[in-house]
């Protein structure tokens, strides 16, 4: 990380232009040739950047493509994996616990009286190195607990892998960990940590510095043990959600399980045995490593914007309220006795700059708090990293991007707007009334935006590689035209039509199809002089609501005559008999206001209804545009 005011300008300005999304900020266009040149030079598919100056979000834009097929523009709302930037997030959570009196830096972690003395997994493992009982919370935060991942500890080859893994970081060889411990795959955080604990330490705790992923996994276990909550839920409920941050989550291993609005990762062609132990060979970025066991050391996905929103809330500057006390912030960022450039989860230097980088196959990231211009913070996330060839130049260039932008001599005017002025609470308690076969009234309680839009989409029974019925979203800086006639308002791009834009709490929608189910969302936005008169939408924490029109279709008498159900007063299962060669019939269950409760394809002529609440339901069978509707009572 460069000294404050250091400015390095790339001499080459020859690059292939790529898509730019997000609100254009004229004062900062001097930076964008730099960003474009970077992704062109290093063949990076996509990148998101957010920058705050003096506690205001001045810039939030994205470049390039977000998906493996390179067909979708990266957007500022895209979340990406941030890898080891998860460590300062864990540190923030620990400092909040310490500030609240829940634990101390000097607390021992293992053994009698230790924070994890009664841990559900660690309390029964075989620890033979007594030095482990000297490990404290502070040592884990400062990477001085005694784990040195540079020391070889795996056999050659590292069974069941046909090759050798150098060093001693269990995240590299999870199949070997489970094989050694006699556990099933995929490996969990507890298994990875246990593998090292049973091997013993590489140096006396507190006497040296050695960067350790396992140390931060242990800190995650401490958070869970002390709070009684999962690591993710504690961080969300205690740190993120009170700040209105909803676009930060722990990620998943596989492409099929990616979150809504999460980008996709482009590896460098390297593969590994699947972490699921099924013998498959998978890309490192999708199942070749076990991201789901990374949590407190490297598991978060986030938008650059929400990362900066968190950063300004702990940066110690007076321009934005901090969630940690000055004493906690000082403690968190004071260099350790064993490394003058590393504090508690943060890289630091003598210029009072703090930062952290993150890297794992398919992503690279940087998070910076710089003590200049009254306080500057930025986050940059990529959906590819470089490990071959010019990797050193790549990291140097990524490190320089924010500095080269903010300290470019041509950057002379700080933007007046604040993109942090977006809503922090979305509309809630969405419901439907006056439902007919082609219309309904949607009602909600307002959030804290200045206005809101309502979007409606036809539901999708089996979304492929999608986390919800929606795959397009309102864009910051865009004003949408609404029309309560479904299909007549602006289309967000996926068949989601804007049916309302205003300050009220309900809208009467018409033009719907009989017997269809619709997905509804209400997005809050803020638009005023503070936002530069740009509409800023809150996409996170949006409430999903589905409602069907009341008509379930017209019975086809011949089709219905071929189906019998019994009993009609039921507590567990409905039995179905079909005649005339009927098979592969789909079914749907609705409540009496036409809301679809469940659906499926008839299997073994039995439909399980034991999970339904007591009441009257309609059971609809469908095949080749034929309908048959029966009524039953769940007792």
Give the CATH number for residue 597.
2.60.40.1930
Q: Indicate if the pLDDT at residue 466 is higher than 70.
A: no
In this prediction, residue 627 has a pLDDT band, given cuts at 50, 70 and 90, of confident
Paired strand residues for 545: 520
Domain closes at, from 353, 388, 416: 416
pLDDT in tens, 295-340: 999 999 999 999 999 999 999 999 999 999 999 999 999 999 999 9
| Secondary structure class of 569 (helix, strand, coil) | strand
Q: What was the pLDDT predicted at 463?
A: 47
Spatial separation of the C-alpha atoms in residues 414 and 558, rounded to whole Å: 73
DSSP string, 502-563: ESSSEEEEE-PPTT-EEEEEEEEEE-STTTTT--EE--TTPPPEEEE-S------HHHHHTE
> Which residue has better confidence, 598 or 67?
67
Shared domain for 195 and 221, answered yes or no, is yes
Q: Which two tokens stand for residue 439?
A: 């219309």
Q: Indicate if the pLDDT at residue 16 is higher than 90.
A: no
Q: Indicate if the pLDDT at residue 146 is higher than 50.
A: yes
Give the CATH number for residue 531.
2.60.40.10
Is the distance from CB of 460 to CB of 537 less than 8 angstroms?
A: no
pLDDT in tens, 60-70: 999 999 999 99
In this structure, is residue 266 part of a structural domain? Answer: no
Spatial separation of the C-alpha atoms in residues 265 and 392, rounded to whole Å: 21
Shared domain for 462 and 540, answered yes or no, is yes
DSSP string, 116-136: TTT-TTGGGS----GGGGG-B
Shared domain for 441 and 381, answered yes or no, is no
In this structure, is residue 281 part of a structural domain? Answer: no
Q: What was the pLDDT predicted at 579?
A: 83
Spatial separation of the C-alpha atoms in residues 292 and 297, rounded to whole Å: 11
Paired strand residues for 432: 442
Shared domain for 215 and 95, answered yes or no, is yes
In this structure, is residue 312 part of a structural domain? Answer: no
Round the average pLDDT of the chain to a whole number and report it.
93
Shared domain for 503 and 519, answered yes or no, is yes
Shared domain for 452 and 569, answered yes or no, is no
pLDDT in tens, 173-192: 999 999 999 999 999 999 99
Most distant pair of Cα atoms in the chain: their distance: 83
The closest alpha carbon to 416, from 315, 531, 313, belongs to 531
Q: Per residue in 238-263, is it b (16+ CB within 10 Å) or e — as a string?
A: bbbbebbbbbbbbbbbebeebebbbb
Q: Indicate if the pLDDT at residue 357 is higher than 80.
A: yes
Shared domain for 117 and 244, answered yes or no, is yes
Shared domain for 230 and 101, answered yes or no, is yes
Shared domain for 163 and 253, answered yes or no, is yes
Number of domains in the chain: 4
Shared domain for 76 and 125, answered yes or no, is no
| Secondary structure class of 420 (helix, strand, coil) | helix
Shared domain for 22 and 169, answered yes or no, is no
Domain span at 536: 422-548
DSSP string, 268-326: -S-EEE-TTSSS-EEEIIIIIS-GGGTHHHH-EEE-HHHHHHHHHTSS--TTS--SS-H
In this prediction, residue 467 has a pLDDT band, given cuts at 50, 70 and 90, of low
Q: Which two tokens stand for residue 528?
A: 């005023």
Give the CA-trace dihedral at 512, 513, 515, 518, to 10 degrees. Answer: -50
Spatial separation of the C-alpha atoms in residues 256 and 253, rounded to whole Å: 9
Shared domain for 106 and 240, answered yes or no, is yes
CA 467 from centre of chain: 12
pLDDT in tens, 247-262: 999 999 999 999 999 9
């Amino acid at each position: 990380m460069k000294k404050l005011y250091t400015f390095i300008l790339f001499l080459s300005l020859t690059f292939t232009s790529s898509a730019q999304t997000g609100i254009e900020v004229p004062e900062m266009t001097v930076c964008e040739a730099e960003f474009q040149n970077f992704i062109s030079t290093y063949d990076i598919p996509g990148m998101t950047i957010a920058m705050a100056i003096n506690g205001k979000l001045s810039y939030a834009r994205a470049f390039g493509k977000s998906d493996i097929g390179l067909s979708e523009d990266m957007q500022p709302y895209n979340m990406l994996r941030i890898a080891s930037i998860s460590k300062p997030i864990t540190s923030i959570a620990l400092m909040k616990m310490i500030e609240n009196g829940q634990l101390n830096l000097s607390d021992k972690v293992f053994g009698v009286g230790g924070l994890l003395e009664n841990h559900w997994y660690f309390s029964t493992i075989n620890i033979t190195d007594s030095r482990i009982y000297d490990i404290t919370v502070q040592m884990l935060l400062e990477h001085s607990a005694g784990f040195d991942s540079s020391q070889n500890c795996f056999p050659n080859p590292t069974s069941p892998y046909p090759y050798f893994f150098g060093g001693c970081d269990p995240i590299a060889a999870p199949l070997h960990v489970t094989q050694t411990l006699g556990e099933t795959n995929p490996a969990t955080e507890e298994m990875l940590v246990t593998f090292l604990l049973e091997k013993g330490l590489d140096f006396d705790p507190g006497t040296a510095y050695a960067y350790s992923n396992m140390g931060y996994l242990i800190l995650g276990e401490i958070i869970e043990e002390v709070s009684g909550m999962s690591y993710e839920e504690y961080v969300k409920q205690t740190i993120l959600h009170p700040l209105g941050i909803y676009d930060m989550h722990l990620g998943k291993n596989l492409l099929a399980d990616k979150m809504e609005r999460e980008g996709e990762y482009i590896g460098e062609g390297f593969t590994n045995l699947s972490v699921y132990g099924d013998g498959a060979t998978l890309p490192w970025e999708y199942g070749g490593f076990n991201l789901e066991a990374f949590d407190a050391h490297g598991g978060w996905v986030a938008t650059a914007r929400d990362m900066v929103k968190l950063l300004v809330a702990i940066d110690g500057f007076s321009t934005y309220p901090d969630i940690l006390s000055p004493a906690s912030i000082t403690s968190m960022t004071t260099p350790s006795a064993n490394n003058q450039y590393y504090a508690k989860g943060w890289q630091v230097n003598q210029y009072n700059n703090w930062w952290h980088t993150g890297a794992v196959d398919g992503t690279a990231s940087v998070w910076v708090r710089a003590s200049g211009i009254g306080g500057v913070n930025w986050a940059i996330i990529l959906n590819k990293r470089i490990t071959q060839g010019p990797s050193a130049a790549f990291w140097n260039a990524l490190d320089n991007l924010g500095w080269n932008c903010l300290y470019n001599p041509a950057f002379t005017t700080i933007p007046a707007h604040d993109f942090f002025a977006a809503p922090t609470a979305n509309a809630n308690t969405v419901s439907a009334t006056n439902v007919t076969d082609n219309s309904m009234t949607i009602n909600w309680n307002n959030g804290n935006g200045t206005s809101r839009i309502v979007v409606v989409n036809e539901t999708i029974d089996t979304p492929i590689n999608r986390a919800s019925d929606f795959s397009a979203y309102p864009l910051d800086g865009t004003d949408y035209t609404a029309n309560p006639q479904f299909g007549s308002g602006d289309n967000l791009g996926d068949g989601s039509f804007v049916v309302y834009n205003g300050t009220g709490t309900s809208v009467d929608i018409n033009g719907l199809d009989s017997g269809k189910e619709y997905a509804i969302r209400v997005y809050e936005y803020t638009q005023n002089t503070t936002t530069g008169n740009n509409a800023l939408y809150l996409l996170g924490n949006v409430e999903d609501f589905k409602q069907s029109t009341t008509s379930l279709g017209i019975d086809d008498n011949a089709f219905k005559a071929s189906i019998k159900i019994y009993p009609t007063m039921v507590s567990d299962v409905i039995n179905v008999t079909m005649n005339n060669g009927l098979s592969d019939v789909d079914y749907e269950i609705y409540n009496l206001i036409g809301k679809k409760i469940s659906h499926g394809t008839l299997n073994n002529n039995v439909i399980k209804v034991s999970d339904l609440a007591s009441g009257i339901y309609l059971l609809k069978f469908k095949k080749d545009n034929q309908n048959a509707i029966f009524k039953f009572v769940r007792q």
